[in-house]
Amino acid sequence: MVSGAKGSYDNGTPNTTCDVTFAVDLSSASSGYLADLQNSIEKYVSELKSNGLEYNLRLVTFNAGTVSNFDFGNDTDAFINAVKSLNISGGGALDFGTVVSNVAGTGPFAEGANRYLVVFSAEALSTTGNLDDYISTLTKNNIQVSVIGTDAGWNSVAKATGGSVYDITADDYSSLMSKVGTDTAADVNKCIATVEESLNIISNVKKMLNAMVNIVLREVNRLHMSGYTLDGKPGGALFETIDPSRPLEMGNIKLSDSLLDLNSIVASSTDANGDNVIAMKIAKLRNESIMASYNQTLSVDSYYQQIILTVGNIGNESRQYVESQQVLVNAAENERQSLMGVSLDEEMGNLIKYKYAYNSATKIVNVINEMLETIIYRTGIVGR
């Protein structure tokens, strides 16, 4: 049985959807607090793009109880401009509860999308009161919370939802925002590569194969886009989808149309033509630990070997199951035959017994016939 229709996650299509909500605290801030985010927000968006995710961007701003919610879809320019136009709106106690309620009440852009909430706040989160309610609401809606702030209070929410806390006082904000974006993409990959065991064997194998194909090809595209062509232009994607409505997966892969011009192939990691850095990085992917799931981290080779082992183990278990069932069937059949079946040995013995009985009866009849014949034909002829 294959679960789900073509293109569905149950049928093996990788879930590369990424619903990201940036929640920015405008209630209070130190000098330069908001400027650091505004000057580096492109780094986060760039990581989503380079990792080939299907993303939706949402901006939530809040202060002491007031929340605004803007959905930008995949319009990255509008999202970046909106972040850069933010201003501090006033002080007051941090009201994270309004953010949780607002985000939980806003549905994801696609059914089953991976949902992320990135909170940007210099304020501490109180560990008393409704913290457990916040966590319950967030986990119920499958929202992972990461915080660019301080450990105070936020660490409990981030840990409970599977997110992280990033130091808001970091000196290099560009690297910080790139790290946040990379971690978002890595979590999407973990969701794809984690395939729980079930009886839907074909669907599971398709999920694992598609996970490997999707993650590897997106990583190849990321590396290819990080280099430069023979013309000194930035590289583009090496692989594209045949059907744009579905992600990169088995049966939905083609080389980029731009590669019809061989000069579009990336030739170097810088604008100096001729080095093989990008090619070597792509070649080394097979041994890189990029197949990280929630229970293990494997290289591409190891992950593929695990797929083969999975298929082999399932086949072996199926064979053993069939053999065990056949033993039970044979035992039941023997029991049935012992109660109501025909024994050829017993029947042959009966045939021989009845044959001898018949022969004996025939001899008795012959003797009686001879006696009667003697009586009938011999009586009364004495003295003639």
Q: What is the pLDDT of residues 227-285, one digit of tens each?
A: 998 888 889 999 999 999 899 999 999 999 988 888 888 888 886 666 888 999 999 99
Q: What is the pLDDT of residues 190-235, one digit of tens each?
A: 999 999 888 788 888 999 999 999 999 999 999 999 999 888 888 9
pLDDT confidence of residue 1: 57
Q: Is pLDDT of 120 > 80?
A: yes
Angle at 34 between CA 28 and CA 37, to 5 degrees: 140
* More confident of the two residues 352 and 7: 352
Whether the Cβ atoms of residue 180 and residue 147 lie closer than 8 Å to each other:
no
Q: Is the pTM of this model over 0.85?
A: no
* More confident of the two residues 327 and 92: 327
What are the φ/ψ torsions at residue 220 (nearest 5 degrees)? Answer: -60, -45
Q: Mean pLDDT score of the chain, rounded to an integer?
A: 89
Query: Residues near 12 by Cβ (< 8 Å), separated by ≥ 6?
Result: 203, 206, 207, 209, 210, 249, 250
3-class SS of residue 206: helix
Return d(Cα 66, Cα 85) in angstroms, integer.
18
* More confident of the two residues 64 and 59: 59
Place of tokens 């990691």: 269
3-class SS of residue 226: coil
